[in-house]
Amino acid sequence: MKKLTLLQTLIHIGSLFSLAKLFFDYFTNNFSPNPIQDLEQQTGFAAITLLILSLATTPLRTLFNWKAPSKHRRALGLYAFLYATLHVTIYLAIDYAFDLNLLIEATLEKRYTLIGTIGYLLLIPLAITSYKWGMKKVGKNWKKLHRLVYLIAPMLILHFAWARKGDIFSLQGNVLQPFIYALLVILFLVLRIPAIRKKIISLRK
């Protein structure tokens, strides 16, 4: 059996921390008077954080020649998908009891649920093709397909900001966290532009 590295151990423990906290809060009655909202917010926050961490791995290699995190990009992405699925399941099953009419109405009515739904639907093929079976199915289109994350991440940042009942563009409302996450996503995307990446690597060398 392969030995876990320290970074790998930290990634697994860190990723599962939010899940453990949810169980802890449940068994110790540590939720607010609106536990469904707590569950939605905690799982949503874990999902977006892990998605951003998965996007940070390549820039870390570009900036500091730190290659180890790139090996765990897939694990971070799949943990993000796990939390996103929990988040969506809580919304569908607990918040709306799978009432299709109500769900369609609520999803179309609020811009944050609409963009969240599109973002989640786009994440599904990425998660499926992160496994060997899925990778084989898409073959050489795998890289192109996974570039979708550069579109999905900004969409989900907007979902985050809009869910906070704020406006990330005019900085109104409780949008400091989504604003910081938006800056990080912009930075990570800019650092992927080939000309910028090459320049940084040559400066570093």
Contact region for ligand HEM (CB under 6 A) — 17-25, 80-88, 131-139, 191-199?
Answer: 80-88
* CB 182, min distance to ligand HEM, A: 12
Closest CB to ligand HEM among residues 1, 100: 100
The yes or no reply on residue 119 touching ligand HEM (CB under 6 A) is yes
Closest CB to ligand HEM among residues 120, 188: 120
**Beta pairing partners, 172:** 167
Token pair listed for 86 = 């929990």
Residues 189 and 152: their CA atoms lie apart, in Å, by 12
The yes or no reply on residue 58 touching ligand HEM (CB under 6 A) is no
CA atoms lying within 13 Å on the CB side of residue 29: 0
* CB 21, min distance to ligand HEM, A: 13
For residue 81, what are the CA distances in angstroms to 12, 45, 84, 123, 167?
14, 12, 5, 7, 25
Residues 50 and 13: their CA atoms lie apart, in Å, by 12
Residue numbers at the binding site for ligand HEM (CB under 6 A): 37, 40-41, 44-45, 47-48, 51, 80, 84, 87-88, 91, 113, 116-117, 119-120, 123, 156, 159-160, 163-164
